[in-house]
Amino acid sequence: MGKIYFLVAILFFLHDSVWSQDNPSAAVARRIYITQELPDTAGIEIDGVLNDDGWKVAEWAGDFTVFDPDNGKPPSQQTTFKIVYDAKNLYVGVRCYDSIPDKIERRLSRRDNFAGDWIEINIDSYNDKRTAFSFNVSAAGVKGDEFVSQNGDNWDPSWNPIWYTASNIDDDGWTAEMKIPFSQLKFGKQEEQIWGLQMNRRVFREEERSLWQHVPQDTPGWVSEFGILRGLMNIQPQKQLEIQPFFVNQLDTYEKEQGNPFRDGSDFIFNGGLDAKIGITNDLTLDLTVNPDFGQVDADPGAIALDGFQIFFEERRPFFIENKNIFDYRFAGRNDNVFYSRRIGRNPQGAVNSVDGEFVDVPTNTTILGAAKFSGKTRKGWSLGLLESVTGDMFAEIDNEGERRKELVEPLTNYLVGRVQKDFNERNSYVGGIFTATNRKLEPNIDFLRKSAYTAGFDFKHNWKNRNYYVEGNLVTSHVTGSKEAITATQQELTHLFQRVDADHVEVDTERTSLTGTGGRLEAGKAGGGNWRYSGGLNWKSPELELNDVGFLRQADEIRQYAELNRLFLTPTNLYRRAQIGIEQFTTYDFEGNYNRIQYELEGFINYKNNWFTELGAAHKPRIFSNTVLRGGPRWRWSEENFAYLFVGSDRRKKFNVTLGYINSQAKQDNFSLLRYVFRFRYQPFDAFSLSVSSEYEENPNKTQYVTETSFNGTPRYITANIDQRTFSTAIRFNYSLNPNLSIQFYGEPFISRGTYTDFNYVNNALAEDLGERITLYDSSQITRNNATDSFLIDEDFDGATDYEFGDPDFAFVQFRSNLVLRWEYIPGSEVFLVWSQGLSGFGDPMDSLGSNLDGQILNRKLDNTFLIKATYRFIL
């Protein structure tokens, strides 16, 4: 613990000495734009040309300053704008001057791609200095829109409001018009609305960003630095009422399986559902979905985890993505979250009791019968969110020579998530809370699942000195209930491992029917002002903490201390536009007090004058102990590790740009290593088409890869081996835009991972520093492979009899997923999707190379196909 106190002392020293060396920018005066109401006799047609009489009622505003790279200096090209309004809409007109109109970059792309030259308006209609609505239009007329939260730390492009825009290029540069319905913004009823306002322009060829309201680069946030929009008098909040039904025709084709009635070569599905958005007030919205379809959503990337832990996948489904910032409650690790929406509609968790000769049809996902989401923020600073979802009973169908029966594999389940936050102290502070509940209607064959799970949390944040300094924290408590079998299984899951043989602070209690745990975090630091940033904190997850019914928790029973210090180089030089260097450190303990890990890391980033970049880092891990490697066995010691990485990339504005990456990790005595090579490129031969490829090849050998646990004369044997694991993946994407509302998009990824095991051994002394003392290799006369059963026979005591055996762990996993989507937004908010998906998962020959498995398991096999037509129409009432 002495190292922790030492690091805390360093942070206090930095607060008093390093901070005093900073030169924070003086307070910037807030600019004010006063808008005017359109007279009844004047109108504005959204065609990108600023020749309507309605624009004459307002004054031009300009005098932009550069944000990046030469912060505070006059921009290379000037920008002016006007804002007017009527009873229903806000209108924005922008003149982007350009001395060389032929060099205006007008790249076509899909919505929210933000390509080429563009102009953007950010509106903080809540006036909470933390959230904003962003509307963006490019010189090519492509629109983008995002919901901004966390004072600019989170930009959510899944927010797709209905608004109207157009652009036009002329001899003086280019112009843009926007019409933003008040129904798409959120604000309270007041005589005069006072909103935060920012205008942001990108000049593509210079990679220059200029702003109407000057923002120094050392500020701690974005929304809190906005200028002010005034003059909106007596406008009435517009309650949203939108209904969007959809219809789906889907045809699945696949390789016919002889004799299997569930795999006859094709399936046809007709489906329909409804999405709705209802404005309860102008501040708060109710989103509803009935029988949602996510057929146009990209497939998850390929992944395989030999450590046994669940893999975290990003949410891609539109209903759950929109306004996800309100429900977000990360409290400890990077992915640890009280709410993980991928639990809703998950793969069925039950197993089927079948016998040889029976065919089984198991649903891929759980059907979401319906979901409702109530969310928003009031003008008084209350952020509110309530999500309710019900998933149905899911049955596997079993066929036995024509006789059919069904078995429940996922029960009827109700999910509830409630979230609240309250701003105060002139929006510099907030407190909040969260509550979640999962309740299942269990049947006897599926009572291994937990019957109910509840979590509650409290969080806060306080900023001071112009938001340059902060302290934040949260607390989480969980309570799960179920049968004795379900709670016993929970105690023994990899997340908890109460059965660990050398743990004195936990033990499996087979009589328990509930578990209660806590977790939390406390952090303080410097987020803005000058060139230095630092933070330090502590988080914990108690042994009984369980979140995985509707949250995500990788591992409980951990206490972590961490600290970070960064030096920013914000003033451009002849070498770079900006740069950063930082150091990090963390240590971990379990609740028994075992000191498990310490890591030191150095990292840096530099964006050169020519817009190339370099990112590099290195870390030293002198102490690595794990409570989970042996899956309930004793605490395990890894050899000391060092790793480094280097990424170099070319100018991303160019029509062809490339990134190369290299990661190298090595442990002492060659205990394990990692070599990863990354190659990415993006090519845009003409404005309407772009292609990107991201390839990774990885070698990950490990002399002590866990294989299994067995018993030798009543003594546990933990078997490990030397694995040669190699993985290759390539993600390919292209986008062809016929116009701003019609595009063709493709995503495809082959994924191959192969592992072969040699030099089998058993754990001798799991805590030994020397690898040779940690394990004992089997002599060639002790181990025999049985080809008939694909297993290894062990004669450990050399008496000629088999003492125990285990299966051959060699593997080759192959997966391919692709989506080809034609998307047409035929009127704002209403779309047609034509989708062609292909997929295949299987197992190859571990003895073959990655290339042979690619050829044999993907290129030379018939892929499963899905052809889908989805149409939506958005009624605005």
Confidence of residue 68 (pLDDT cuts 50, 70, 90): very high
> Residue 26's pLDDT is what?
55
* Per-residue pLDDT at 16: 42
User: Which residues on neighbouring strands pair with residue 807, listed in sequence order?
Assistant: 791
Number of Cβ within a 10 Å radius of residue 57: 14
The pLDDT score that the predictor gives to residue 316 is 75
Looking at the predicted structure, is the pLDDT value of residue 37 above 80? yes
Residue 749 has a pLDDT of 92
Contacts of 407 (CB under 8 A, 6+ apart): 350, 352, 353, 395, 396, 398, 445
| Residue extent(s) of CATH 2.60.40.1190 domains in the chain | 31-233
pLDDT tens figures, 586-643? 999 999 999 999 999 999 999 999 999 999 999 999 999 999 999 999 999 999 999 9
The pLDDT of residue 697 is 96
- Token output for 748: 């495809």
Are 850 and 695 a contacting pair, CB within 8 Å?
Answer: no
User: Which pLDDT score, from 0 to 100, does residue 856 have?
Assistant: 65
What whole-number distance in Å separates Cα of residue 314 and Cα of residue 301? 10
Summarize the confidence of residues 770-797 as an average pLDDT.
Answer: 94
CA–CA distance, 190 with 759 (Å, rounded to integer): 75
pLDDT of res. 309 = 84
Higher per-residue pLDDT: 545 or 3:
545
Mean pLDDT of the 725-731 span: 94
CA–CA separation, 653 and 206 (whole Å): 9
Are 296 and 870 a contacting pair, CB within 8 Å? yes
Q: What is the CATH number of domain 31-233?
A: 2.60.40.1190
Give whichever of 252-256, 396-400, 635-639, 747-751 has the largest mean pLDDT: 635-639
Per-residue pLDDT tens over the stretch 417-465: 999 999 999 889 999 999 999 999 998 888 899 999 999 999 999 999 9
pLDDT tens sequence across 183-214 = 888 887 889 999 999 999 999 999 999 999 99
868 has pLDDT over 80: yes
Can you tell me the mean pLDDT for 258-274? Answer: 88
In this prediction, residue 84 carries a pLDDT of: 97
Contact call for residues 141 and 48 (beta carbons, < 8 A) = yes
Digit-coded pLDDT (tens) for 231-240:
999 987 777 7
Looking only at the bridges linking them, the beta strands covering 595-608 and 558-569 are unpaired
**Looking at 277-291, 655-669, 775-789, which range is the least confident one?**
277-291
Residue with tokens 């297993």: 791
Q: Is 54 left (phi over 0), alpha (psi -120 to 50) or beta?
A: alpha
Q: Mean pLDDT, to the nearest integer, of 169-182?
A: 95
Per the DSSP assignment, residues forming a β-bridge with 677 are 662, 697
Sign for the pseudo-dihedral over CA of 666, 670, 673, 675: positive
Alpha-carbon distance 583 to 563, whole Å? Answer: 8
pLDDT at 288: 87
E strand spans, 630-714: 636-638, 641-649, 656-667, 673-686, 689-699, 702-712
Per-residue confidence band for 862, with pLDDT thresholds at 50, 70 and 90: confident
Contact, 563 vs 585, CB < 8 A?
Answer: yes
Which segment of 480-484, 519-523, 787-791 scores lowest on mean pLDDT?
Answer: 787-791
Task: Tell which residue, 252, 308, 432, has the closest CA to residue 708.
Answer: 308
CA-CA distance, 63 to 122, in Å (whole number)? Answer: 17
In sequence order, which ranges of 493-614 are alpha helices (DSSP H)?
Answer: none
795 pLDDT more than 50: yes
Lowest-pLDDT range of 87-96, 171-180, 181-190, 506-515: 181-190
406 residue type, one letter:
K
Confidence grade of residue 295 (pLDDT, cut at 50, 70, 90)? low
Span 506-510, mean pLDDT?
Answer: 96
Q: Residue 859 has what pLDDT? A: 66
Taking the model in full, what pTM does it have? 0.87
Q: What percent of the chain has pLDDT over 70?
A: 95
The better pLDDT of the pair 311, 415 is held by 415
Residue 325 pLDDT level (bands cut at 50, 70, 90): confident
Could you tell me which of 205, 264, 185, 194 has the C-alpha nearest to residue 227? 194
Mean pLDDT over residues 261-288, rounded? 84
When pLDDT is cut at 50, 70 and 90, the band that residue 860 belongs to is low
For residue 101, say if its preceding peptide bond is cis, omega within 30 degrees of 0: no
pLDDT value at position 864? 86
676 versus 187: the higher-pLDDT residue is 676
SS3 69: coil
Distances (CA, A) of 207 to 67, 237, 345, 856: 11, 38, 42, 46
Average pLDDT over residues 766-791: 94
pLDDT at 338 (0 to 100): 95
User: Which pair of tokens denotes residue 240?
Assistant: 């949203």
The β-bridge partners of 125 are none
Locate 670 and state its tokens.
Answer: 């060659």
List of residues 6+ apart from 702 with CB closer than 8 A: 671, 672, 673, 722, 723, 725
pLDDT tens digit string along 245-260?
888 888 988 888 888 9
Q: What is the DSSP string of 293-315?
A: --TTSPPPPP---TT-PPPP---
* Averaged pLDDT score across all residues of the chain: 90
